[in-house]
Structure 1
Amino acid sequence: MDKNLLDKKTFIKTLISLALPITIQNLISSSLNMVDTVMIGSLGEVEIAAVGLANQFFFLYSLITFGINSGCAIFISQFFGKKDYKNIRRVLGLCILVGGVTGVFFTGVALLIPNFIMTFFSSDPKVIAIGAEYLSIIAFSYILTSISFAFAFASRSTGQPKIPMITSATALGCNTILNYLLIFGKFGFPELGVAGAAIATLISRIVEFTLIIGIIYKQKGILAAKFSELVDLSKEFIMNIIKTIYPVILNEFFWALGMTMYSVAYAKINTEAVASVQISNTVQNIFMVAAFGLANSCAIMIGREIGARREENAMVLGRRFIKTSFSIGLVLGLVVFLGSGFIISFFNVNSEVIKDTKVILRLFSFIIPVKMLTSLFIVGILRSGGDTKFSLILEIGSVWGIGVPLAFLGAVLLKLPVYMVVGMVYIEEIAKLIIAFPRFKSKKWIRNLVQHL
C-alpha cells in the first residue's frame, strides 16, 4: 500500500491542488450563467424565463457530453495511475469523436426546430419567441463546447486542472464584457437584448475552445496527441470503453431529462414560478461548485489508486472524502440560509418571484449536505471504481421513480406553490443517499478497468 497519499498532509495538499482549480473552474462556469441571468434579469421576468428554458436544451446536451467525458475520465485516471500514456490519447480521441457527433445532432435540432423545442417547455408565446431566437444563436457553440469539454476533463484526470481553469476564467471575462456591450448597446454596439446575450456566450465559447487547444499543444504534454494517435481505435478497444461509459452517458441523459421534466412541471404553475426556479438554480449552481470540485477530485484520486492496484487506498480516500463533503455542506447550507435575502436583492423581479425564490433557497440550504454526498457517491466514488451500472440504476430510480412523479403531483394535481413542489422534489436526494452509502461500504464498486488493456 502506498502510504504517502494516506498521510493527512499529503492528502490535503493533493486534494487542494486538484479541487481548488476544478472548483474555481466550475464557479466560473456557473458565474457565466449567473452573469447572463442577472443581466437579462434587468429586462424582465419573460426574458429570464425564456433564456432559462432555452438553456434547458443546452443543459440536456451538456449533461450528455458530461456523461461521455466523465465516463472516459474513469479510464484516463486509471491509465494515468498505470502510466499508460498511449491509451490515454486513444481514450481522448474516442471522447472527441463521440462528443462531436452528439454536438452535430443537437446543433442540427436546435437550428431546425427552435420554436418546437420551446413549445415543449412553455405555452407563453412571448417566452417561446424570445427563447427560440436565443436557441438558434447559441446552438453554434455546441460542437466546440464538446471538444473543449474533452480536453478539460482529460487535463484534470492527468493532473493539470489549472488549464481548464484559466480558459474558463478568460471565457467568463469575455462573456461579461460582451454581455454588457450587446445586451444594452453600450459604446456604439447595437442593443440586442437576449440575442446579444446569446452572441456574447457564443463568442466566449469560441475563445475558450481556442485557448484550451492552444495551451495544451504549446506545452506538448501527455494530451498533445497527433491525429493518428487520437484515431488509433480498434473495435476491441472501443467496445471495452463503451461498455463501461454507456451507463454513464445514459445516467447523465436521463438525469438531465429528469431535470428538464422538473422545468416542465414548474412551467405548469406560471411564468413567475419558472423565473423563481431559474434564479434559485443559478444561485444553487454557484454553491454546488464545491460538490463538483470534491467529487471530481475524488474520482481522479481514487481512479489513480485503482489503476495502480492499490484498492485499500481507494476505500480510505472514499471515507475521507465523505467526511469532508458533509462538513463543507453544513457550512455552505448555513451561508445560503443566512444570505438568501441579500442574494435575491441582485435580481430585478417582482415581489412574488422574490418571495418564492427566498423560500426555495432556504429549503436548498437544508438539503446541501445531502446533495454534496450524493454527488460525491455517484460522480466521485462509484463511477471512479467502474461501478457505472449501479450508478445508472440509482439515478434513474430516484429521479424518475420519485422526483418527476412528485413534481407533477405537486404542480399539476395538487396545484401547490412552486417552493412546495421544489421541496417535494428534494425527497429523491435523500432516497439516493440511503441507497448509495451501503454500496460504498460493500466495496463492490471497486473495479480495475485497465489491468488487461
Structure 2
Amino acid sequence: MSIWVREKKFYTTFLWLTLIIGLQNLISLGVNLSDNVMLGGYSQTALSGAALANQIQFLLHMMVMGACEGLVILGARFWGGKKLEGLRKAAGVGMVLALGLSITLGAVVFVFPHEVLSLFTDDAAVIAEGAQYLVIICWSYVFFAVTNTILALLRSVETVRIGFLVSLSTLCINVLLNYALIYGNLGFPELGISGSAYATLTARVVECGIVIWYLVKYDRKTGMKLSGFFTIDKPMFRQYLAIGYPILLSNSIWGLAMAAQTAVLGHMGEAAIAANSIANTIFQLVTVIIYASASATAVCIGKTIGEGGPGKVKAYAKTLQMLYLLLGLLTGLLLFMIKDFVIEWYSISGEARSLALQFMTILSITVIGTAYQMPALTGIVRSGGDTKFVLYNDFIFMWLVVLPASALGAFVFELSPAAVFICLKSDQILKCFVAVVKVNRFRWIRAFES
C-alpha cells in the first residue's frame, strides 16, 4: 500500500490550513521578534529581563493553547458531523477555562514579580528590568485568552484567514510603538523595557477587539453569540475535560519545563540568557510551518473522524509523517543558513554572540526531530482521541530525563552552556522513536459521543 494519499482535496486542505496558520504564527512571532531585536539593540540587560518575563507569557500561552486545543479537537468533530450546538457549547467551556487560567496567572505575577523572576536567575539587574516589563505585560493575559479562544473556535470550522489579518495588525502596532516608546522616538518619552511592554499590551487589546468584531459581524458558520461564551453546559464540561484535561495538563507541564530550562541556563550567566533568548526566538520564527502543520493536522484528522472515515484517517496519517520529515529537513537547512546573518541584528557581548551561534547550530539539527514527533503526537495522536499519551510521554522525557540530566551537567559536572543546551534539546530526537511506533500502530483512533 502506498504511503502517499492520492486525494487532491486532502493536500489542498492540509497545505492551505498549514500555510494560513503558519503565516498567522509567523506574524504573531514577529511581535516577539520585534521586542527581542529592539530591546537587544537597546541593552543586553533589558533583553535578558524581557526574555525571563516572557517565560511567564510562554507558560500562559501553553495553558491557554491547551484549553484551545481541546476546543479544536471537539469542534472539528462537531463541524464534521454538522452538530453546531455541540460546537457552541464546547466554545463556552473553552472560554471559561482560558479566562480562569489567564486571570490567575496574571494576578500572581502582578503581586509577586520579583519573586517569580528570581526563580530564573539571581542577577539583580536582570530581575529589576524584567519586573518592570512583567507588571505591565500581565494585563494583556486576559485579552490574549479571549483572542485565542475565538480563533480556535473559528479554526475548528476551517475559518483561518482572520487569524492572519489579526496577527498582521498586531505586528504593525507593536513595531511602531516599540520604535516610539523604547527609544523615545516620534515625540514619545524613552521608556526602555517598559515601553516594549506597553507596546505589546496595546497590540493585544486591539487584536482582541478585531476578533470580537469579526465574530459578531462576519461569522456565518458557528452561529456563536458572545453570551454563549459564558454559559456552561455541565454535560459538555465533563466531555470537554475528558478530552481536554490531558492536553491542558501536558501543555502546562511543557510550559513549566521550558521555564525550568531557562532557569538552568539563567544560572549560567547573563550571556547564556541572552543567547538562549535569541536562538529560541529565531528558532520559533523559522519553525512556524512545523507548528502550523500540527494545528492543520488536528483539524483534518478530527473532521475526518467526525465524518466517519477511520480508513481514510490511517492513510492520511502515513502521508502526513512523510510531509513532516520533509518540512524538518527544509527548516533545519534554513536555520543553519541564516544564523550568521540574524546575529548581526543584536548589540550583545562577544560571549553571548558565540553562544547564540552554537545554540542555533544545535537547533538546526534537533529541529528535524521536532518536525516529525511534535505534529505526529500532538496533531495525529491527540486529534485521534488518545489525549493522555502525549501527557505521559512529555512528563517522562522532560521531567525524568532531560531536566535531571541538564541540571547535573550544569551544576554538578559544570559542562559548557552548549553541552547543557544539547541535553536540554535531546528529547526532540528521542521522542521520534516513540512517535513512529505509536502512530503506526493506529490504536489512537478513538470515538467519543458527539
Q: TM-score, normalised by structure 2?
A: 0.97
> What residue in structure 2 maps to residue 363 of structure 1?
362
Contact 1:333 1:365 in 2 (8 A): yes
| Inter-partner Cα distance in structure 2 for 1:309 and 1:150 | 26
- Answer yes or no: is 1:10 the counterpart of 2:18: no
Q: Deviations over 1:333-371 (max 9, x none)?
A: 112222211121111111111111111111111111110
Contact 1:326 1:373 in 2 (8 A): yes
Distance 1:427 1:189, change over 3 A: same
Distance 1:182 1:85, change over 3 A: same
Aligned letter for 2:212? Answer: I
| Inter-partner Cα distance in structure 1 for 2:419 and 2:133 | 30
> What residue in structure 1 maps to residue 272 of structure 2?
273
Contact 1:398 1:429 in 2 (8 A): no
Aligned letter for 1:29? Answer: S
Contact 1:175 1:200 in 2 (8 A): yes
> What residue in structure 1 maps to residue 222 of structure 2?
223
Aligned letter for 2:108? Answer: V
Contact 1:309 1:448 in 2 (8 A): no
SS in structure 2 opposite 1:383?
Answer: helix
| Inter-partner Cα distance in structure 2 for 1:154 and 1:228 | 15
> What residue in structure 2 maps to residue 48 of structure 1?
47
- Answer yes or no: is 1:179 the counterpart of 2:178: yes
SS in structure 2 opposite 1:345?
Answer: helix
Aligned letter for 2:368? Answer: P
Name the stretch that deviates more: 88-97 or 333-342.
333-342
> What residue in structure 2 maps to residue 245 of structure 1?
244
Question: What is the Cα deviation at residue 72 of structure 1?
Answer: 1.8
Distance 1:177 1:231, change over 3 A: closer
| Inter-partner Cα distance in structure 1 for 2:234 and 2:178 | 45
SS in structure 1 opposite 2:248?
Answer: helix
- Trace 1:231-380 onto structure 2 (pairs within 5 A): 231-380=230-379
Question: What is the Cα deviation at residue 231 of structure 1?
Answer: 4.5
Contact 2:120 2:267 in 1 (8 A): no
Contact 1:269 1:415 in 2 (8 A): no
Q: TM-score, normalised by structure 1?
A: 0.96
SS in structure 1 opposite 2:444?
Answer: coil
Long gaps (5+) in structure 1: none
Contact 2:93 2:236 in 1 (8 A): no
Question: What is the Cα deviation at residue 377 of structure 1?
Answer: 1.6
- Equivalenced residues, count: 447
> What residue in structure 2 maps to residue 140 of structure 1?
139
Aligned letter for 1:392? Answer: L
> What residue in structure 1 maps to residue 416 of structure 2?
417
| Inter-partner Cα distance in structure 2 for 1:226 and 1:45 | 46
Aligned letter for 2:123? Answer: D
Long gaps (5+) in structure 2: none
| Inter-partner Cα distance in structure 1 for 2:444 and 2:352 | 43
| Inter-partner Cα distance in structure 1 for 2:388 and 2:282 | 31
Distance 1:194 1:230, change over 3 A: closer
Contact 1:280 1:361 in 2 (8 A): yes
| Inter-partner Cα distance in structure 2 for 1:294 and 1:214 | 27
| Inter-partner Cα distance in structure 2 for 1:179 and 1:137 | 14
Contact 2:70 2:94 in 1 (8 A): no
Q: Deviations over 1:93-146 (max 9, x none)?
A: 111111111111111112111111111111111111110110000000001110
